[in-house]
A and B are shown apart, each in its own frame.
Chain A
């Protein structure tokens, strides 16, 4: 019987002792191509490789490049429509006199967001992912090379609006910010636990709508804590300005610490 596929059962075969040196690889009666008699051609290879190893290696390279250039880099993730671009516009208007700010914008299509950021007064570049549902470290590396942020910039990477896929892809950022608008429902962290578990900061946003929504803010915090014990939680409104001082304080301190 052929050891490769088990064909030709019952056939008597003579296995030469000098396997691999002088064998006759005749096509077999089973119709398969020649098999090495008595010798399995397939082999098992143990590789134990992380599927994201290539992205992780590129992310490590980005992180080193950001540090060498003195750029403090934040990856901002959220659902579509939770107010990432609005928060960035406000942050740029309020802080660009203190820090140079640059933004890498990720969306499936259009450069609307990069235009808004530019109008707010920051350097910006748009990545269109096409069918892609997230940014990866390679896209960010290319956009970063093209953008060339000014020295000591605060660089925001606004990820594609999606609470699922971006959680697995390290971009080389120094901190990950998850924006969570109170219109999304108190149980969002439980519905999308992976992204909330990966956050360094959770910004609970659109606080100006609280009079109309009467969200249970304590329950929101409790749900975030159920999937992430360590993340810092801040409450903000880009429209009314509520809570932004704390956000700016954290940005300023972190940028000075990391860049110094």
Chain B
């Protein structure tokens, strides 16, 4: 359940941004959750609702943008999309892969008052 502390970190970032960019309420938040970020999108939604109560983001619409897992294959040289870290290269079947994307957890955009 580290999604709870991830959501607490989101609130901390929002509070700092509210002071910096002069807004008092967050109405909508778009968060990118990479397939290999270690966070579960549904759990993030559930936790955000709980930790945002009484904060500037209470009742904000929490929207998740999922980012696929991406890797570079050393065997065939292609950049490929992976569903799981341990999947083989979908083109050549090799496991000589270096993950290059899908590990991010980022707040992308906010709609604020």
Contact = CB atoms under 8 A, between A and B. Distances in A.
A53 B36 contact: no
Contact of B2 (A42, A47, A168): A168
Contacts of B63: none
Contact of B17 (A47, A189, A193): A47
* Interface of A: prevailing SS: mixed
Interface of A: 41-55, 132-134, 136, 164-165, 167-169, 189-190, 193-194, 197, 223, 225-227, 229
A134 B38 CA distance: 13
Contacts of A226: 85-86, 95
The majority secondary structure among interface residues of chain B is mixed
Contacts of A168: 2, 6, 37-39, 105
B104 interface: yes
A133 B8 CA distance: 14
Contacts of B1: 133, 165
Contacts, number: 96
Contacts of B106: 48-51
B100 interface: no
Interface of B: 1-2, 5-6, 9-10, 12-13, 17, 21, 23, 27, 31, 36-39, 84-86, 95-99, 104-113
A164 B38 contact: yes
Nearest to B14: A47
Nearest to B13: A49
Contacts of B9: 51-55
A7 B99 CA distance: 48
B98 A47 contact: no
A140 to B, nearest CB: 14
B100 to A, nearest CB: 13
